[in-house]
Amino acid sequence: MLELKIESEYIKLDQFLKLADIASTGGHAKYLIQEGVVKVNGEVEMRRGKKLVPGDIVEVEGNQIKVI
C-alpha cells in the first residue's frame, strides 16, 4: 500500500486522484469516479467532492493509497 501525505486538513477525491497520478486531468478523475472504479475505505464512492482525511484508504483498480 502506498501512502500520500496531504498538506491540509482534507482533500477532495478528484484532487487526490490527480495528486496521486491516478488521473491525468480533472475530467479523467470525474470519469473514473462515475464509472464506479474508485473505492474509499472499501466502499464505491460516486462523489467527486468527497472529502478525504488522513487515515482514509483510496482504491483504484487494485491499487491502494492511504491518505496521511
Q: Is 45 exposed, middle or buried (0-12, 13-18, 19+ CB in 10 A)?
A: middle
State residue 38's pLDDT score.
98
Please state the φ and ψ torsions of residue 13, each to the nearest 5 degrees.
Answer: -55, -45
Stated pTM of the model: 0.93
State residue 64's pLDDT score.
96
At the topology level, CATH places domain 2-67 in 3.10.290
State residue 18's pLDDT score.
96
What is the spatial distance between Cα 35 and Cα 55, in angstroms, rounded to a whole number? 24
11 neighbors 19 (Cβ within 8 angstroms): yes
State residue 22's pLDDT score.
95
Q: Per residue in 11-49, pLDDT tens?
A: 999 999 999 999 999 999 999 999 999 999 999 999 999
For residue 44, give the 3-state DSSP assignment.
strand
State residue 5's pLDDT score.
95
